[in-house]
Structure 1
Amino acid sequence: MTDVDQRPSAVVPFHDASGRFARGNPGRVPGSRNKVSNAALTEIRGMKDSAIAILRQKLAAGDWDAVIFVLDRVLPKGRPIDVPDASAATVSEMLAAGELTITEAKDLATAIERLAGIASIDELRSRLEALEASINDHRRA
């Protein structure tokens, strides 16, 4: 391999001698797909009608493993949880009573913590706006 790939680039070479992206070249845009991924997705989308037909045949034949395999990948994970109030004490009580799994309690506690953070940011924003308004009123007077 040469010091730098010989591919055309308007700004900088793609790779350095070690195969890493050259300085100033961030690489592919995050979230973009390469040609192979796009071709595979197109191929899979083209197979959907035959896949559904095969799934119907397996269901008619009583092959529940195939149905469960597909539904596990299509349906959302988890279950709906009815929580009386969003507090750590309630989550702890529900966990102790066996109404929540440890994972559900952890996920719920994380969500409550993030919501509380958002609420405190909103409160700080309103207090800051009130202070700015007060300062502006004082300057005008």
Structure 2
Amino acid sequence: MTRKNDSKTYTDKSGKFAEGNPGRPKGARHKTTRAVEELLDGEAEGLTRKAVELALEGDTTALRLCMERIAPARKDTPVNFDLPAMKSAQDASQAAQAVLQAVAEGQLTPLEGASVMALVEGYRKALETTELEQRIAALEATK
């Protein structure tokens, strides 16, 4: 099957997209998606009202849908523990030790600890890069 647009063929003989295929334009919607949107157009209020009515009558699926909109599941929670300040790349080892200690003591879950460690590592890299730039600038200034 070849796809033609402005009399240009965008597939090769095997049916694979050829080089220069522009693909679907940005913002283009699949025809099924467009059809569903047209069917639902103007019906949001009625559908919502019906879902609430069903939920109040005890329909557990409707109740779950309504509750997910009222109070969606939290994707992230703040963590509270002592993390030493990092003013140099060397301070990152103390911060990492604090995170490991918090996980070991149960203040943080292992998943929370991993997330915080990723932040510590990113900040360490930024500090390290800044320190290297300062050293290079100082070396170039002495030349």
2:93 aligned with 1:89: no
Q: TM-score, normalised by structure 1?
A: 0.63
Deviation at 1:57, TM superposition (A): 1.3
2:63 match: 67
Give the unaligned 5+ runs of structure 2.
84-98
CA root-mean-square deviation: 3.4
1:17 match: 13
Q: TM-score, normalised by structure 2?
A: 0.63
Map 1:26-105 onto structure 2 (within 5 A): 27-28=23-24, 33-41=29-37, 43-44=39-40, 46-72=42-68, 75-78=72-75, 80=77, 82-85=79-82, 87-94=99-106, 100=109, 105=110
- Residue-pair matches, total: 127
Deviation at 1:55, TM superposition (A): 2.1
Change (3 A) 1:132 1:39: farther
Q: Which amino acid aligns with 2:62?
A: A
Which string of whole-angstrom CA distances, capped at 9 and with x for unpartnered residues, describes residues 6-36 of structure 1? 61358x7322222221124363468864343
CA distance in 2, matches of 1:82, 1:125: 27
User: Displaced runs of 4+ in structure 1, greater than 6 A?
Assistant: none
Q: Which amino acid aligns with 1:123?
A: L
Percent identity of equivalent pairs: 21
2:117 aligned with 1:113: yes
Give the unaligned 5+ runs of structure 1.
none
Change (3 A) 1:79 1:41: same
Higher relative contact order (CA 8 A, sep 6+): 2
Change (3 A) 1:81 1:137: closer
